[in-house]
Homo-oligomer: A and B are copies of this chain.
Amino acid sequence: VPGSTIHDVARRAGVSIATVSRVQRGSAPVTDGTRRRVETAIAELRYRPSRLARGLAERRHGTVGIVFPDLSGPYFSAVIDGFESASDNDDRGVLILSTHGREAAADRVRDLAAAVDGLAIFGRTVPDETIAELRSSGLPVVLLARPAVASADAVRAENRTAAEAITAHLLDVHGHRRIAFLGDPDSSPDGAERWEGFVAAHRQRDVAEPAGPVRSSYREQEGYVAARAALDQPAARPTALLCANDEIALGAYAAAQEAGLRIGADVAVTGWDDIGLARHLSPPLTTVRQPMRELGALAARTLKERIAELSAGSGVAPLRRVLATRLVVRESCGCGLADRR
């Protein structure tokens, strides 16, 4: 019985559509007999209320959205996983959008915004003004891995201190004096903060200011190219490569091996994220672990709360949450060299 409506059910059960509505959402008392008749009709007709119609009447979509710059790679996948899991408990649909780095993103995001009760927005996918606009229309928005803006909530993972820590490790423990930063401070807020921490660690010590970043997107392929370029400086070849994420580090592994350099011994390499593969590499990758799944989950929970508040009508200050990250020392930095096979 394809696409039966509330009217079909009402007719079949010999009641009004109001009663059907009451039965199926339990919003008001209904006599046992009536309820049974309605339930039977619902079952027989396989009736499911139209989400569109219900949403229109209730003035809510029953969905939340999440916007990414890109969907590939373990990082985003972990965030989605966390976001979906947390939303799911709340029986909300999850709409997902990737801007694919396009410029026309703002428009698609506005489109998406018109289809959800709340929106999580990642990094630099849309300009600040779009976010402000969304907020001013009353839509709950939580920002991910991105500086706070307007009255939107913001959750992110700590970058600066961890970047200082990993740089310090290279500088102090292993005595490196020429470390190259592989990544792009301009492409993402995360990248910028990691770069800052990197520079700060140098300044806090009495060592030469580091050279500018060797630009690379977060992809392995570009990481490889950047690492080659960095390593191809006979005069001042860096002795360590601090990569802005693990995928870049992967590219660096390949480049180093090609150059006949042993990772850990001849050149140190570090990553960021601690994706699943990091500990399986040889040598295992020293990196910074960030709680990606938790990031997504927290965003979803925050959104849920805000949506609830909207009807409750309380006015809480925007959330600013920074999740802890932690240095994971393995062997690619040069630690535990003796253990290497």
Contacts and interface: CB of A to CB of B under 8 A. Distances in A.
A336 interface: no
Contact of A96 (B96, B110, B115, B136): B96
A285 to B, nearest CB: 10
A148 interface: no
Nearest to A49: B114
Interface in A69-103: 71-74, 76-78, 80-81, 84-85, 88, 91, 93-98, 100
A61 B71 contact: no
Contacts of A73: 77
Given A71-B80, A88-B97, A253 B280 contact: yes
A281 B110 CA distance: 42
B280 A51 contact: no
Nearest to A95: B93
Interface residues of A, number: 54
Contact of A71 (B77, B138, B281): B77
Nearest to A281: B280
Contact of A133 (B46, B51, B94): B46
Contacts of A327: none
Given A49-B114, A137-B2, A72 B63 contact: no
A203 interface: no
A48 interface: yes
Nearest to A282: B282
Contact of A280 (B52, B85, B98, B250): B250
A328 interface: no
A3 interface: yes
Nearest to A293: B72
Interface in A31-82: 46, 48-53, 55-56, 61-63, 71-74, 76-78, 80-81
Given A50-B114, A114-B50, A81 B88 contact: no
Interface of A: 1-3, 46, 48-53, 55-56, 61-63, 71-74, 76-78, 80-81, 84-85, 88, 91, 93-98, 100, 108, 110-115, 133, 136-138, 220, 250, 253, 276-277, 280-282
